[in-house]
Structure 1
């Protein structure tokens, strides 16, 4: 007896295949190989530290198999995701019991056996088999077990049958925390975060059931799905009051929430206070910075992580690469690429496509193409990154060529790829191309897709055909928020702000669609382009106070632009100071542009100082401040800025224009001397300039000379 107790204690310390084998040998010598407790324990250890095959071999060698031994092996197979084998083993278990003349109670399947099998049914999405088991449970009256109920809810949730899941839940008069968690998680995972929060509220407020960390992770995830910062912040407070804020899984979920809602400060504070951090914590914080306009912080944190010898995973690398892409930081991006190669996940699909995107945004298409050619499997996502990347750097014709190659390779475009190519084609502004692509989209059966419909609206709008854009809009059977936002943006693009406002109010007051953040970017831009300053400010107020939406940097940039046009520069600066996120170049650039209009040198210098820090290689900002100095006749400061531009070899981003003439696209840029007919073009320009002078035109001199 003492030897048995000693062996049981030794089994608790096992953590390797060798130690398990040695103890197994001792059990055989001592005649304890048929001890049900020891055999079950050995089975679990073999599955955990050796292999499932070793565990199964021991199982087969055991003549007297208790339900605990069956359950141990069932659980091991299920844990490994071997769901087919789990179901096969369960059939053997039932067959063994049926064929035996007398079966002890300890050998029959119990509630735990059934919950494991139901989990396997959920993994395989075998809802019919799961329903058969459910029916059997009701007959033998063992369906009242909470764990079985939880497994049934999980099965129906994963198979998309939430009504059945709720029916199971309602069968329990006093559900425990496990059942409540199952139904809350079920709604969260099935894309119904509102209902998940409603059940959580009922659980805590009405039924007075204390949630556990697993419940709260699902609740926080539901808040993240809804991008609901206020409710998420309240849940965080609840977590703190319950003393669960040190739980790593919960802290990671909260980091994800703050990242999704753009609350960098709260995320950074939480991250700093976390006593323990794993790779998910670091990845979430890097992603939070990268996706919310704090790319420098993202890269600093990523490098800090490497300095601390914390090995990144592919998710961390993808977030860091996005930060490089947003800032066109090629040098840092190449270092991370080398890191991905060393760690062996360069050819992970998500990593390789993100690398391609980074190289494209860093104006290095040859590196993107090289990586694309080395990819063993080129899916539609990789193709889409390549041709959309070409479009983003102004090489639309190359983009269309790559799209053609994709079709030739037999890769069928999905909705996302089609949206990207339609967006690329819209940059050409060629009406005939728009008609051709519209026909292609209709032919392959995507005409009724809301996202493609929205892209077609944008395409026709940029081809100067607001009428065709409106036809697409009116022809759509179902108009969602994406469609409404696109048609509002289309009218705004054409300077028809009043019409855009009419459409906005039509959507808000006479449809079931509620405006979202993108809708307000569309309507605010429409007001800005049409000079509807007061209307735009009113729209921002409606967004924040009526619809309770949280503005992002794009909304703030347009607001600063609107206030700047109105001459309210102090108010615009207050908006920037009170923003919940760090102001980016777009926002400070809007303020600098307003300072140029109203000749506010002091505030212009403040805006420029921030711009030079955020984007030191953008020549346009130096030129804009220099123009302000010139109007004020501050020639010394203007010359100093001009010298900085030349010494640092900064280049102004050149605008490109295209016209369609006799079915051929002609492109040109400012001060273009490479056009085949540039001599004749400049001769005509000279004549036009002379004619303008005769008519009394006196252009205001600027220092925006060709760099």
Structure 2
């Protein structure tokens, strides 16, 4: 009977219902039979039934063995039964299984799942022997709860690191935007004797490359994915394409996309989004039409967010209107906040402020800060100071701790030379303790990423870099460069002070460093965490012309490809 129950309970061709009938006819089922049915319940994700059977087992005075506790603890974890899990923990100690690795690892996992890291650490510390699983579960628990430093300390104590523990730490650094730390750890991993690239580590490191704009490193990882024979599932494929898109290599993103034998919805969405951020609105529309006509995958909510973003970044007003209707009429997708935000951005960038306001007033939900922020930005671009002031104040009310909201309103006032109002905005920031986000730019040269901040001199080559900036700006003055004072929100009237405030923005330092460290004709790829200002945008165009370089700058929302004195955005950003 035991074999019949085992087959029916846990075999892929079994029948748990029949196993339970057979179980109910046994006068005195033993521990093995109970354990088998526990596993059957878990396979069908029936944790409550598993827990109930465990209680029945205890009432029947059947003694658990070391194979009993692991499935019961998992059932408590799945059912979020914390108190019962603690009772099972006590019974493990009572029945003398303190040294059983399976039970102890299951307990650590349970406490980690309940975010009770102190209890998890206590179990870990009391284990007489720990295996790779013990270490990895606890390290992952610290990482998932945001305690990256604690995870790192534990990781450093681990006698033999395994791929799962390496990936847990690397992923934690990536999720906390500590990309440099992720690279340092990855390099350390590569030097270890047990290094083997798998799809999880590859995905984490590709995300780190995306965060830093480290194209060369991303290409190396992609090449090693191919050499290692790692299966490129839709999730990994999307990560690869996203890396190429966000590191400025749209050609490689398209090539990778086209070579995929099968494409999931996330892959299509990623490629459409890639075209959007590169200002390739028409290509995004063509790809969407191909998705509709040739693939068996229907577009979803995210597809239309990316498509409408592409229309907004390329000034495709009619197309945006059409696809906003198409989403509802053809695909029965109700517009969400993100879709309304895209349409407000589309109308606002095109100067259709009345139409943007009309849409905001007709929204079925209260507009959030992203929608209102898009409208305020449009008011600044098109000089509607009265409406911009009203919307800008509303945006600050909605997001009072975001420095960018205050800077936007200050810029609106500065455009109208309302310097007293600029000062009042800054005073409000100071009173609320809101600090302006530090702008920085990253550039990859020789496989290493360098970071620059405006006016910063921490780089070991800063003296040479600043000399190059002066040379660079002197050169472009000869072909028409004039500093744009509106890019500085201070009340500065002296030309010398204006230039001082503008010349050492982080992207100018990064470009100068790139010119110093690369060969003639090489493309410079720069990642900036904030929006490119007008002065740096104009300077970058002229630098690309004078030095005959292609300069690709990824800012907070899109790409700018500067070449022969023009930008791919057509000054529409």
* TM-score, length basis structure 2: 0.73
More helix by percentage: 1
Question: Does the aligned pair in 1 maintain the 2:98–2:104 contact within 8 Å?
Answer: no
Following the alignment from structure 1 to structure 2, what is the Cα–Cα distance between the partners of residues 345 and 379? 20
Preserved CA contact (<8 Å) 1:153 1:186: no
Q: Residue in 1 aligned with 2:390?
A: 401
Aligned position for 1:7: 8
Residue correspondence of structure 1 range 551-562 to structure 2 within 5 A = 558=539, 561=542
- Cα distance 1:445–1:491, how it changes in 2: closer, same or farther (>3 A)? farther
* 1:44 aligned onto 2:42: yes
Task: Trace 1:531-610 onto structure 2 (pairs within 5 A).
Answer: 541-542=515-516, 544=518, 549-550=524-525, 558=539, 561=542, 590=565
Cα offset for 1:288?
Answer: 1.6
Alpha-carbon shift at residue 192 of structure 1 (Å): 2.3
Query: How has the CA–CA distance of structure 1 residues 556 and 424 changed in structure 2, closer, same or farther, with 3 Å as cutoff?
Result: closer
Alignment partner, residue 492 of structure 1: 483
Q: CA deviation at 1:361?
A: 2.7
Task: Give the match for residue 111 of structure 1.
Answer: 104
- Indicate whether 1:481 and 2:453 are aligned: yes
- Match in the other structure for 1:627: none
Aligned to 1:466: none
> Matches of 2:399 and 2:174 in 1, distance apart?
34
Query: Does 1:131 find its partner at 2:118?
Result: yes
Counting only pairs closer than 5 Å after superposition, residues 197-596 of structure 1 correspond to structure 2 as 197-244=183-230, 246-307=232-293, 308-341=295-328, 346=334, 348-366=336-354, 368-373=356-361, 374-405=363-394, 412=400, 414-446=402-434, 448-450=435-437, 481-482=453-454, 492-494=483-485, 516-517=506-507, 519=509, 541-542=515-516, 544=518, 549-550=524-525, 558=539, 561=542, 590=565
Q: Tell me, yes or no, if the aligned pair for 1:491 and 1:500 is still in contact at 8 Å.
A: no
Q: Distance in 2 between matches of 1:543 and 1:500?
A: 29
Structure 2 unaligned segments of length 5 or more: list them: 441-450, 458-469, 474-480, 487-493
**Aligned mates of 1:330, 1:504 — CA distance in 2:** 34
- Change in 2 beyond 3 A, CA 1:103/1:265: same
- State how many pairs are aligned: 514
Checking the alignment, whether the CA contact within 8 Å between 1:114 and 1:148 is kept in structure 2 is: no
Taking structure 1 as reference, are residues 355 and 500 closer, same or farther at Cα in structure 2, changes over 3 Å only? Answer: same
Task: Give a deviation string over 1:648-673, Cα, whole Å, max 9, x none.
Answer: xxxxx9xxxxxxxxxxxxxxxxxxxx
Shift of 1:92: 2.6
Question: Any idea what SS the aligned residue of 1:203 has?
Answer: helix
Instruction: For 2:541 and 2:436, locate their aligned partners in 1 and report how far apart those are by CA, in whole Å.
Output: 35
* Partner SS state of residue 550, structure 1: strand
Separation (CA, whole Å) in 1 of partners of 2:199 and 2:53 = 36
Deviations 1:294-349 (A, max 9, x none): 22222222222222231334333222121010112223223432355466764544
1:235 and 1:388 map into 2 onto residues whose CA distance is 38
Over 3 Å counting, the alpha-carbon distance change for 1:427 and 1:185 in structure 2 is: same
Q: Offset at 1:67?
A: 6.1
In structure 2, the partner of 1:474 is none
User: Is the contact made by 1:330 and 1:362 (CA closer than 8 Å) also made in structure 2?
Assistant: yes
Any idea what SS the aligned residue of 2:262 has?
coil
* 1:431 to 1:543, Cα distance in 2 relative to 1, 3 A: farther
Aligned partners of 1:416 and 1:171: how far apart in 2? 41
Structure 1 residues 136-151: aligned runs within 5 Å: 136-142=123-129, 144-151=130-137
Higher relative contact order (CA closer than 8 Å, sequence separation 6+): 2
8 Å contact from structure 2 (residues 48, 75) kept in 1: no
TM-score, normalisation: structure 1: 0.61
Q: Which residue does 2:476 correspond to in 1?
A: none
Once residues 185 and 394 of structure 1 are traced to their aligned partners in structure 2, the CA distance between those partners, rounded to angstroms, is 44
CA distance in structure 2 between the aligned counterparts of 1:421 and 1:53, rounded to whole angstroms: 55
1:145-192 CA distance string (max 9 Å, x none): 211211221233344443432332233322222222222223333332
> Deviation at 1:211?
2.8
Which of 55, 61, 82 is the equivalent residue of 1:87? 82
- Aligned-partner Cα distance in 2 for 1:232–1:382: 34
The 3 A distance-change label for structure 1 pair 563 and 288 is: closer
The within-5 A match list for 1:17-28 is 24-25=20-21, 28=24
Q: 1:443 to 1:277 in 2, by over 3 A?
A: same
CA shift for structure 1 position 360: 2.5
Instruction: Return the alpha-carbon distance in structure 2 between the equivalents of residues 292 and 248 of structure 1.
Output: 22
The alpha-carbon distance between structure 1 residues 105 and 284, as it changes in their structure 2 partners (threshold 3 A), is same
Q: What value does the CA root-mean-square deviation take over the aligned residues? A: 4.7
Q: Is the 8 A contact 2:413 2:421 kept in 1?
A: yes
**Which has the greater radius of gyration?**
1
Match among 139, 150, 154 for residue 164 of structure 1: 150
- CA distance, structure 2, for counterparts of residue 369 and residue 88 of structure 1: 53
Q: Is the 8 A contact 2:148 2:172 kept in 1?
A: yes
User: Using a 3 Å threshold, how does the CA distance of structure 1 residues 191 and 548 change in structure 2: closer, same or farther?
Assistant: farther
Q: Do 2:203 and 2:239's aligned partners in 1 also have CA atoms closer than 8 Å?
A: yes
Q: Secondary structure at the match of 1:246?
A: coil
Distance (whole Å) between structure 2 residues aligned to residue 401 and residue 499 of structure 1: 31
The change in CA–CA distance for 1:93 and 1:492 in structure 2 (over 3 A counts) is same
- The unaligned stretches of length 5 or more in structure 1 are 454-478, 508-514, 522-537, 593-610, 619-652, 654-707
- The answer to whether the Cα contact below 8 Å between 2:347 and 2:356 also exists between their aligned partners in 1 is yes
Q: For the structure 1 residues 181 and 585, does the alpha-carbon distance in structure 2 shift closer, same or farther, using more than 3 Å as the test?
A: closer
With over 3 angstroms needed to count, the CA separation of the structure-2 counterparts of 1:357 and 1:69, relative to structure 1, is: farther
